[in-house]
Amino acid sequence: KIVDAFDRKRTAEQNLELGAVKFKLDLKKGLNFFIDNGFVECDANQIALFFLNNKDKLDKTQMGEVLGKEPDSAFIKKPPDLDPEKGGPGFFLRILYHYIEALDFTGLLFDEAIRLFLSGFRLPGEAQKIDRIMEKFAERFTLQNPDVFPSADTAFILAFSVIMLNTDLHNPSIKEERRMTLDSFLRNNRGIGENGSDLPEDFLAGIFARIKERPFSLKEDDAAREKAAETIESNLNIFGDNGGLLGAGIFGTSAEERKKEKFLKEREEMMAATEQLFRRRKGKAAKAESMTAGVD
């Protein structure tokens, strides 16, 4: 019996590794593999918990894609009226809801709550997907910390701003003199409090200082950076300090340019999304004031 139990455990571990590979290559095929092999049922809550329990074994990019999928996306196409919890339209949105509901942000600093949240997956590049994911985060944080923000709307806008700050301070493609300063961070977040008020300056300054000292980072990114550093050091030893023709010329520059172009595109999308959020919020505030004046 002990041998049988050991064999079953080893088989399960091997299947989990195989499933992780399938999931990385194809999101839906990977999920189907986990379902077919008994790791999880086709159930939004179970899959959300499966992601949380195995976040260090599954591909972070694919998990982000699952959590950010369009609100009406279905995992099982027919019948069209299938329960969203069981794979019908809205299935992936339900996974997002259950994923966030399983997290506890009570008593955490705002940026530390974001850090915890983003440790399990990689945010998608599209602004609309980031919007959906961070909106649910903001609602959860505000619910569990009602004394921090007047509304989830404020938490939502600041969460976007904090993510942009992290990118701006720590992306190697940005020159030091062009990085965001504390003054610009404070300026960017003016008027996002209740009725257009400002959040406390020391509150925002604390966030800025902690993000500057310690960026948001995934474990796999840290490992990749260490490996890249080792590779670069090895190449320098082979080709000399300038990397020779291969090190500094054909591959190095083009790869850096592609990386910079991708970053700038994502940053522009996030900037545009944030501006839309500010306009939308100010529009709501103006409408509320108008209604209040009318009542008076």
Q: Catalytic positions, please?
A: 126
Q: Does 89 sit behind a cis peptide bond, omega within 30 degrees of 0 on the bond before it?
A: no
Task: Decide: 47 and 39 in contact? Cβ < 8 Å.
Answer: no
Written as six digits, the tokens of 69 are 């999928």
Which residues does 19 contact at the CB level (< 8 Å), separation at least 6?
30, 33, 34, 37, 39
Q: Distance between CA atoms of 41 and 95, rounded to whole angstroms? A: 13
198 residue type, one letter: D
Which residues does 195 contact at the CB level (< 8 Å), separation at least 6?
285, 289
Task: Decide: 15 and 66 in contact? Cβ < 8 Å.
Answer: no
Q: Distance between CA atoms of 75 and 92, rounded to whole angstroms? A: 8
Q: Distance between CA atoms of 279 and 145, rounded to whole angstroms? A: 26
Which residues does 281 contact at the CB level (< 8 Å), separation at least 6?
153, 157, 192
- CB count within 10 Å of CB 214 equals 13
Angle between helices 91-101 and 60-68 (to 10 degrees): 110
Chain position carrying tokens 């990386």? 259
Task: Decide: 132 and 232 in contact? Cβ < 8 Å.
Answer: no
